[in-house]
Amino acid sequence: MPSLTRAEAAERAALLSVDEYAIDLDLTAHGDGFASTTVVRFRCAHPGEDTFVELRPAALRSVTLNGRALDVADLDDNRLPLTDLAADNELVVEATMAYSNSGEGLHRFVDPADGEVYLYAMAGPDNADRIFACFDQPDLKAPVTLTVTAPPQWTVLANGVGEQVEPGRWRFVPTPPISTYLMTLVAGPLHSRYADHDGIPLGLHCRAALAEHLDRDADELFEVTARCFDRYHELFDSRYPFGKYDQAFVPEFNWGAVENPGCVAFRDEFVFRSAVTEAQRMERAIVIAHEMAHMWFGDLVTMRWWDDLWLNESFAEYMGVRVAAEATRFTGTWTDFAISRKTWGYAADQRPSTHPVAPERVDDVAAALLNFDGISYAKGAAALRQLGAYVGDDAFFAGLRKYFVAHEHGNATLADLIAALGEASDQDLSGWAALWLRESGVTTVRPVAEVDAGGRYKSVTVVQSAPPSRPVLRPHRLALGLYDRAADGRVVRRERVEVDVDPADQGRTPVPALAGRPAAALLLANDDDLTYAKVRLSDAELAALPELLPAVVDPVARALLWSAAWDATRDAEIAPTTFVDLAVAGLPTEPDSTLFTEVIGFAAAITVGQYLTPELRAGASAALASVCARVVGSAAAGSDRQLAAARGLVRCAGAAEVDVLRGWLDGTSVPAGLPVDAELRWAVLRRLVVLGAAGAADIDAESGRDRSAHGEQHAARCRSALPDAAAKAWAWDAIVGDDTLSNRLALALAEGFWHPEQEELTGRYVSRYFDEMPDLAARRSAQVVNQVAGAVYPRYAVRPATVDAAQRLLDRADLPAVLRRVVADRTDDLRRALAVRSLIDK
């Protein structure tokens, strides 16, 4: 399928104005597809000109333009030419469209729990033409009027308010002008809960098999939603503009959630069917707040083209974290942002695929899809937090209000936003935007201190550096935190000093305010995490970190310290054994479940799995497992710490822990208060399978206990993880060759395939990956390729030969862009692993 280019979109936007989409969908008895009739009313600025409309039908039945029949054979891939346009035009397209199994277009899912069928539409970024005929670009917004015929027992949801006007026939009110990628519907025998807040009708929806779990959390979900609405109305001084607000939890969703106005779709893993930590509930609240922010950033005011994706995602990321902290009980969101989201951003910004937050050009929609990454989300959000610190909160939100008023129900660009913020703050922000938004890469900050014989600072300088490949320094408003050990042993902040780091200082910014002050046990740059930069500690602080870090009281400060240690490990500045030692020292007293989970993930999955040589893995895993076992035994029964540590123990378990895990499964030795429910049972079983302590019969038995969609995916991961040649051959053939597998089942098999303990067994599949991925990429959608090819990359084959094989693939000129990016980024991670391993013997 040709990807719409920026030039084509600009040309078409100059020619056309779209007045309305009237879409009629028949979801009853059309085999593998559904009937789609679209009436598009649009104007042409230059009558007599030509253009094209996009659609991807299974069968195109008829097309008329202004009453003139067009030849359906003129459809070329997904483009249908429209010739000799009038000033006012009406296009009518009748087609049969195919359901998808990829999470794109109109996705069809059969629930294994009860056999019920569910549908949901995912139109973005360029999949609307799988559902209806359209001019599929963000700046041709138009009202959408939808009618749907469905089985009478179904509920159908869409962007606007709908009613069942006769059995199975649904009619929805026209929407305000929206972009084509935001059109949606959700249909099936849904379970629904309803409420009302501040005049906004609220709905929660899921498939019937999850009803009891949605009901259990409905009050919390409604409360988070209501509080976030109140805070957004207060901050933006602009009412929610799309009427009702449904939140639908849908199966096999590729994203965390998508911001369809009036009908937000979430992956249904957010309907928790097993015990979860408070950190997981906080993550869900952040996602709810994130998608709600999109009602303004992206839906009310939409980017003109995909080069301004950050106007959607960076703002929603920033506002979601901020508003969840300010409006809900989940006040620790900035800790999660520092250790999880920004770590994602830092990693993305150092890979070959790095790009500016707001790139100058995104040439086509296929390139835009690749930018839904840690830069557009986390780095952009961090830049916005820095901008708020730079201009002040009042000016920041005054500028946003101007922006909404000027561009409501329209489209905008970076220049439009910077102009509004500059006017509100009475500052020229063009230089700031050029360095923060138009330049890629991450800088590093470190405080360099001289201490006199009396233990006082002679001088403190903030040193900012950038890698030679991207030698761009940025202005930073950051804080230095001075931390000391109190009498009770806790490490607390004594003082905080804000510093304006100016790139004109050639990377060295003096801090005269600290001269003569008593030197701190820990001098932390970027205290409170106001800016986006890697942080480094002095050698003495790094050596003392195993003693200092567990005693630091502030969770954001601990997140910054964990992140600094992890980033130095990833950059091959400290040995991987040092990070394992730090985890062993710091995790036993780490009270924050977010930090515990992220750190054990860094330590177990990456440090032990990739950075340590096989001879060192067993000892490191045993040390981490011992820490987790101690926390499981000492934590309060049923607490977050106990559950997080239990999951950590499962991740790190070796042969010595097999009997413990088996005791959890059979109920003979379960720690008091630990809920060994469906999700934990599957995690335990998968680890036992990897260790060769459970087999196919155990997977079959567990599948019999859990006949859910999630259980089906867990079983696929376990079967792919079986340590025998036949199981690996079956899993590989399914991953690369079975296009009937849904997106999530293919991903589950890919996630289960590689394990450090199985290197010898899976060795022959390393070369097969590089030989066979291009064929997969030619057959499956970009979204599936992005996820599956990334998950099944041979990340534990940390050898120069793997890098060489990857490079030979990357040297091919015909490699699809999405596969090229996956392989380039994963191979960069592999090169880093080789560099980190080189420190082990030093």
Q: pLDDT exceeding 90 applies to what percent of the chain?
A: 98
**Angle subtended by helix axes 555-570 and 593-601, to nearest 10:** 10
How far apart are the C-alpha atoms of 596 and 565, rounded to whole Å?
14
Long-range contacts of 802-810 (CB under 8 A, 24+ apart): 802/766, 802/827, 802/830, 803/827, 803/830, 803/831, 803/834, 805/766, 805/767, 805/770, 806/770, 806/830, 808/770, 809/770, 809/773, 809/774
Domain containing 327 equals 207-228+269-442
Claim to verify: residue 393 and residue 516 sit in the same structural domain = no
Domain membership of residue 645 (yes or no) is no
Domain membership of residue 678 (yes or no) is no
Claim to verify: residue 450 and residue 436 sit in the same structural domain = no
Residue with tokens 């009853």: 28
Quote the pLDDT of residue 842: 58
Phi, psi dihedrals of residue 609, rounded to the nearest 5°: -70, -35
pLDDT of 714 strictly over 80 = yes
Claim to verify: residue 277 and residue 373 sit in the same structural domain = yes
Claim to verify: residue 400 and residue 488 sit in the same structural domain = no
Residue pLDDT, tens place only, 509-565: 999 999 999 999 999 999 999 999 999 999 999 999 999 999 999 999 999 999 999
Claim to verify: residue 438 and residue 472 sit in the same structural domain = no
pLDDT of 1 strictly over 90 = no
Quote the pLDDT of residue 766: 98
Domain membership of residue 129 (yes or no) is yes
Paired sense of beta strands 191-197 and 59-65, if any: unpaired
Claim to verify: residue 141 and residue 277 sit in the same structural domain = no
Domain membership of residue 239 (yes or no) is no
Domain membership of residue 382 (yes or no) is yes
- For 704-708, what is the mean pLDDT? 96
- For 170-177, what is the mean pLDDT? 98
CATH number assigned to the domain comprising residue 138: 2.60.40.1730
What band does 841 get if pLDDT is binned at 50, 70 and 90? low
Number of domains in the chain: 4
Mean residue pLDDT across the chain: 97
Question: Which residue, of 161, 189, 217, is where some domain finishes?
Answer: 189
CB 40 within 8 A of CB 133: yes
The catalytic site residues sit at 291
How far apart are the C-alpha atoms of 126 and 96, rounded to whole Å?
18
Residue pLDDT, tens place only, 183-203: 999 999 999 999 999 999 999
CATH number assigned to the domain comprising residue 331: 1.10.390.10
Paired sense of beta strands 105-110 and 117-122, if any: antiparallel
**Closest Cα partner for 502 from 526, 528, 524, 473?**
473
Residue pLDDT, tens place only, 278-308: 999 999 999 999 999 999 999 999 999 999 9
Claim to verify: residue 426 and residue 495 sit in the same structural domain = no
Whole-model pTM over 0.75: yes
Question: Which residue, of 531, 563, 584, is where some domain finishes?
Answer: 531
How far apart are the C-alpha atoms of 804 and 801, rounded to whole Å?
5
- For 259-278, what is the mean pLDDT? 98
Claim to verify: residue 278 and residue 366 sit in the same structural domain = yes
- For 709-717, what is the mean pLDDT? 98
Residues 6+ apart with CB under 8 A from 544: 521, 522
Quote the pLDDT of residue 29: 75
Domain membership of residue 709 (yes or no) is no
Paired sense of beta strands 155-158 and 105-110, if any: unpaired
How far apart are the C-alpha atoms of 39 and 48, rounded to whole Å?
20
- 232 vs 309, 551, 811, CA distance in Å? 21, 37, 49
Claim to verify: residue 434 and residue 497 sit in the same structural domain = no
Domain membership of residue 785 (yes or no) is yes
Residue pLDDT, tens place only, 72-131: 999 999 999 999 999 999 999 999 999 999 999 999 999 999 999 999 999 999 999 999
Claim to verify: residue 223 and residue 367 sit in the same structural domain = yes
Claim to verify: residue 433 and residue 486 sit in the same structural domain = no
Residue pLDDT, tens place only, 356-374: 999 999 999 999 999 999 9
- For 763-782, what is the mean pLDDT? 96
Residue pLDDT, tens place only, 218-233: 999 999 999 999 999 9
Domain membership of residue 264 (yes or no) is no
Residue pLDDT, tens place only, 27-52: 997 678 999 999 999 999 999 999 99
Residue with tokens 């988070």: 224
Claim to verify: residue 427 and residue 454 sit in the same structural domain = no
Question: Which residue, of 513, 531, 549, is where some domain finishes?
Answer: 531
